[in-house]
Amino acid sequence: MNSDTRTAALQQLWRQQAIALLLVLSLIVITWLPAYQLLIGIWNSNGTYTHGYLIAPISLYLAWQMREHWLTTAPQPWWTILSVIAVCSLLYTFGMMGDLVGVQHAAAVLIVIAVCAFFLGPSASKTLYFPLLYLLFAIPFGEFLLPVLMAFTANFTVMALNVVGIPVFHEGLYFSLPSGNWSVIEACSGLRYVIASLALGVLYAWLNYRSRKRRLIFIALSAVVPVFANGLRAFLIVSLGHLSNMRLAVGVDHIIYGWLFFALVMFLMFWIGMRWREDGLPVPAPSPVPATVNEAASVTTAAATRPLILATLACLIAALTLPLAAMQLKQRMTAHATTVDLQTLAPTLTSGANHFVEYTPYFLKPRASLNHQGDFQSKPLGIFIGYYSGQAADRKLISIANKIVSTRQRAEAVYLHGQTTTATEIAGGPAQVVESEIEAHGSRLLVWHWFHACGQTTASETHAKLLQLQCTFTHLDDSGAVIVLYTPLGAHRQAAQQQLATATQKLWPEIETALKQTKPEVPQPETTSAP
């Protein structure tokens, strides 16, 4: 086959493969639309992941820049990747049934990579491995690092203040200076700097270095430098606020100064990295095209179309069958969501109406809830119960947004000062609860909370989610509840703990009975405004 004929045959093969790829990706996006809506919603609502919009264009640009290498190979379906596509489909199904948003995010991006590799074939995919893998940065990840990064930032700031001689009182994520009070919240953790730096650092290392060692070193620096830079940023902002008597770096300029400092650190890191750049070295030549691939380029259009149609159908079956079935089950679960009547517990839980502090745990959109305060055995007690059923991404028991104290409650003068797990007794047996010490409007509270799911109690969010998944897949029942008891801390912590332990033992039978008496949720009638 002469060169012109082979080139024309390759172009025809790539056109057919591109049409099949776009068709499959379009159908996957349509079928998996809820997952992509969740993904884009995170990009829109969380500044840490706004860069997600740039990842796909960057990957496409990198792939196009390498077109002279991969367009010279004949595209063939990579049948081994079909199993990866099926695993991604299973992963999405699992995430959808269990309302695991992070799992859905990962599956939505991984299947795009897998489908592209499937239609590109092994030769082109190995050439384009970096642009394909770079799509992983579109997945929102890293929120599990928030507590670690927040603690590091607080400790680093306090240590630096001590070094320069500024007096500071430190308690967890809160510290007080003579000029005012400060706290490290999620936005101050530096996670957004770490994620942005890592995405830029990986791209920079790929474009400017050729040796694996230099690339790995620069990527490691991209992850570590922002952590220390964020600690230094926090110290400088607190110092500036202190020296200006809280007139500077306490409002919008707090954010502006932070990003300006981060931009300076990134510029210096990339400028230093330029000294060891290797982008001037020749790019290693791609592996020679095997003879079998050359022969594939000579296949007639009709002969090449039949296996491509088969590959397209197989890919669609692997990617769509399980999600479509799961959608039907999920709709059925939502339609049969249940609720409970918790208000009947209020008069039996307490014997008085002693409202002692304004506090409500931050659990969003429960199907039913109770928030009540009063006297229990002549001592103040508060109780909150949130019941969930027919759960969804914005209405679920186990969520990163649900907390005993949310950062949004700082504006309401509610702060979390410490949290641990403690042993107690529930239903006549040993159990664990989460014990928190919070400050609400100047009053200290001791708070116990635990979860009830699939007929069991647990203090662990992970265990509670696993229990929910167990009942979801075995009984199509995802209901669960959080139970919160709290009382003033006072001067004696043991007295508050004993009050909560006694209340837990005495009140749990009534609470459990109420949670078992489920009933179908009655849809609320729509309200219309008068003309």
- For residue 409, give every residue at least 6 positions away whose Cβ sits within 8 Å of its Cβ, in sequence order, or none: 362
Q: Distance between CA 65 and CA 484 in Å, rounded?
A: 57
Given a cut of 70, is residue 149 above it in pLDDT? Answer: yes
Residue type, 505: Q
% of the chain residues with pLDDT over 70 = 87
Q: Give the rounded distance of the alpha carbon of 276 from its chain centre.
A: 35
Strand pairing report for 169-171 and 519-520: unpaired
SS3 405: coil
As a three-state string, the secondary structure of 278-331 is CCCCCCCCCCCCCHHHHHHHCCCHHHHHHHHHHHHHHHHHHHHHHHHHHHHHHH
pLDDT computed for residue 71 by the predictor: 79
Numbers of helices and strands, H then E, in the chain:
16, 12
Residue-wise pLDDT tens digits, 469-487: 899 888 888 899 999 999 9
pLDDT band at 525; cut points 50, 70, 90 = very low
Residue 382 has phi, psi (to 5 degrees) of -120, 150
Average pLDDT of the segment spanning 4-16: 76
- For residue 486, give every residue at least 6 positions away whose Cβ sits within 8 Å of its Cβ, in sequence order, or none: 359, 381, 382, 383, 384, 438, 445, 446, 447, 448, 500
Evaluated on CA atoms 438, 441, 442, 446, the torsion sign reads negative
Residue type, 9: A
What's the whole-number average pLDDT of the chain? 83
Higher pLDDT among residues 436 and 71, named by residue: 436
pLDDT computed for residue 378 by the predictor: 81
Lowest-confidence segment of 143-152, 215-224, 271-280 by average pLDDT: 271-280
Q: Distance between CA 460 and CA 438 in Å, rounded?
A: 19
CA distances from 67 to 64, 73, 127, 307, 531 (A): 5, 10, 10, 24, 62
Alpha carbons within 13 A on the beta-carbon side of 333: 26
pLDDT band at 409; cut points 50, 70, 90 = low
Given a cut of 50, is residue 291 above it in pLDDT? Answer: no
pLDDT computed for residue 68 by the predictor: 81
pLDDT computed for residue 174 by the predictor: 79
SS3 429: strand
Q: Distance between CA 467 and CA 488 in Å, rounded?
A: 32
pLDDT computed for residue 279 by the predictor: 63
Task: Please answer whether residues 479 and 338 qualify as being in contact, where contact means their C-beta atoms are separated by less than 8 angstroms.
Answer: yes
SS3 46: coil
Average pLDDT of the segment spanning 22-36: 94
DSSP state of 522: P
pLDDT computed for residue 411 by the predictor: 58
Beta-bridged to residue 422, according to DSSP, are 433
Which range has highest mean pLDDT (178-192, 261-275, 303-317, 401-415)? 303-317
pLDDT computed for residue 369 by the predictor: 92
- Please count the other Cβ atoms lying within 10 Å of the Cβ belonging to residue 142: 16
Strand pairing report for 180-183 and 338-339: unpaired
pLDDT computed for residue 433 by the predictor: 94
Tokens 């948003």 sit on residue: 101
pLDDT computed for residue 348 by the predictor: 66
% of the chain residues with pLDDT over 90 = 33
Higher pLDDT among residues 68 and 30, named by residue: 30
Q: Distance between CA 439 and CA 91 in Å, rounded?
A: 41
Task: Please answer whether residues 382 and 356 qualify as being in contact, where contact means their C-beta atoms are separated by less than 8 angstroms.
Answer: yes
Task: Please answer whether residues 290 and 221 qualify as being in contact, where contact means their C-beta atoms are separated by less than 8 angstroms.
Answer: no
Beta-bridged to residue 488, according to DSSP, are 445
Q: Which helix (H) or strand (E) holds 66?
A: none
Given a cut of 80, is residue 528 above it in pLDDT? Answer: no
Residue-wise pLDDT tens digits, 334-381: 888 889 988 877 776 665 556 778 888 999 999 999 988 888 888 888
pLDDT computed for residue 296 by the predictor: 47
- Please count the other Cβ atoms lying within 10 Å of the Cβ belonging to residue 489: 19
Given a cut of 70, is residue 247 above it in pLDDT? Answer: no
Q: What is the DSSP string of 204-248?
A: HHHHH--SHHHHHHHHHHHHHHHHHHHHHHHHHHHHHHHHTTSSS
Lowest-confidence segment of 208-222, 232-246, 282-296 by average pLDDT: 282-296
Q: Distance between CA 237 and CA 235 in Å, rounded?
A: 6
Higher pLDDT among residues 9 and 360, named by residue: 360
Structure tokens at 279: 């982008």
Residue-wise pLDDT tens digits, 51-97: 899 999 999 999 998 888 887 787 888 999 999 999 999 999 999 98
Residue-wise pLDDT tens digits, 107-132: 999 999 999 999 998 988 888 999 99
pLDDT computed for residue 386 by the predictor: 94
Tell me the pTM: 0.81
Higher pLDDT among residues 501 and 292, named by residue: 501
Tokens 């006549």 sit on residue: 428
Q: CB burial class (10 A; 0-12, 13-18, 19+) of residue 7?
A: middle
pLDDT computed for residue 260 by the predictor: 76
Length of the chain: 531
Question: Per residue in 91-125, is it b (16+ CB within 10 Å) or e — as a string?
Answer: bbbbbbbbbbbbbbbbbbbbbbbbbbbbbbbbbbb
SS3 177: strand
pLDDT computed for residue 245 by the predictor: 72
